[in-house]
Structure 1
Amino acid sequence: MFQRDSYSGDRTNDYKRLINQLQALSEDETDTIALLSNASALLNQFLDEVNWVGFYIWNDHDSELVLGPFQGLPACIRIAYGKGVCGTAIKEQVTKRVPDVAAFPGHIACDSASQSEIVVPLFMNGQIFGVLDIDSPNINRFDETDQFYLETFTAELKQFITEK
């Protein structure tokens, strides 16, 4: 298992090792909840200076994101399309990297300790699947390297998801 104390100091190589670990954990697994649970636990263990890591899953019936597997304090359960960072990421279909959540119009504060956030939208077969949401208690925690490799991580994860 990937341990924080096994960082090489090279973020690119560390992220590549993280993605390899995801592949090893996900191989031969078909249960979506199990896959997302392990993915959130793996990211929570790998990333430093974060206070929440998890997934929101799209609910077609209610047209909103619903809390899925996560690591951290209890969170908002439902997020409307276009609302907050998560809903905006889905609406705009782009990763949202927010250096200071206080400056984001309409930010939904589930945990007052969160100061920055990154949200990677997940689409499968052109349809909304959900988002990967990561919060940090530090301003400007996430950079371009994080964004690139978290997008790569979710792309790899989607290859293992066979059902919603």
Structure 2
Amino acid sequence: MFEGTVSATLPKAEFYGELAMQARSLFAGESNRIANAANLSALLFNSMPDLNWAGFYFLTEGELVVGPFQGKPACVRIAIGRGVCGRAAETRETQVVPDVHAFPGHIACDAASRSEIVIPLQTAAGELIGVLDIDSPKLARFDNADRQGLEAVARVFVETIRD
């Protein structure tokens, strides 16, 4: 049984380094996308302070479809280009949104969400798999250090999947 914890009091670079190591440990010997997404969403939700949603949307037949997550029930399908997740998928760039209410076209699955970060998931060949979506009830919860750290954790996830 996995018993790892990451101290949220660490400096962000160290915190995300530890988080990436724990993700690697969780993924050891497992290549199933759903299993690894489920474990990673739980690890993120339980390790990162001030979150109300952490999970995945996978690209399926031209749209994003909800995958494993932690938090309240979510929107099932998101069109490419729509909302923060759709924008990340369309641009293939991480979206850091300090105030979701100021983001044109924001999709509110949980009214408590105030800020959001969405990391596109791409293979080494540049194929879009989906996005990692993390929401917070705190304004401006995510910064550049979070972006860098979560992009590194997302790469660990993408490197493990084979299906």
Report the TM-score range of the alignment, normalised by the length of the smaller protein.
Answer: over 0.9
Change (3 A) 1:7 1:93: closer
Which portions of structure 1, spanning 4 or more consecutive aligned residues, are displaced by more than 6 angstroms?
Answer: none
Partner of 1:15: 16
TM-score with structure 1 setting the length = 0.94
Contact 2:55 2:70 (C-alpha < 8 Å) held by counterparts:
yes
Partner of 2:139: 139
Aligned pairs for 1:56-75 within 5 A: 56-60=57-61, 63-75=62-74
Alpha-carbon shift at residue 31 of structure 1 (Å): 1.4
Alpha-carbon shift at residue 93 of structure 1 (Å): 1.1
Which runs of 5 or more residues in structure 1 are unaligned? Answer: none
Question: Whole-Å Cα distance in 2 between the matches of residues 127 and 93 of structure 1?
Answer: 10
Deviations 1:133-164 (A, max 9, x none): 0000011000111000000000111110111x
Aligned pairs for 1:66-145 within 5 A: 66-124=65-123, 125-145=125-145
Question: Whole-Å Cα distance in 2 between the matches of residues 147 and 126 of structure 1?
Answer: 19
Change (3 A) 1:114 1:156: same
Contact 2:8 2:48 (C-alpha < 8 Å) held by counterparts:
no
Query: Identity over the aligned pairs, expressed in percent?
Result: 47
- What is the root-mean-square deviation in Å for CA atoms of aligned residues? 1.1
Alpha-carbon shift at residue 8 of structure 1 (Å): 4.7
Q: Which amino acid aligns with 2:51?
A: V
Contact 1:65 1:79 (C-alpha < 8 Å) held by counterparts:
yes
Q: Which amino acid aligns with 1:120?
A: I
Alpha-carbon shift at residue 17 of structure 1 (Å): 0.9
Which runs of 5 or more residues in structure 2 are unaligned? Answer: none
Alpha-carbon shift at residue 53 of structure 1 (Å): 0.1
Alpha-carbon shift at residue 84 of structure 1 (Å): 0.3
TM-score with structure 2 setting the length = 0.94
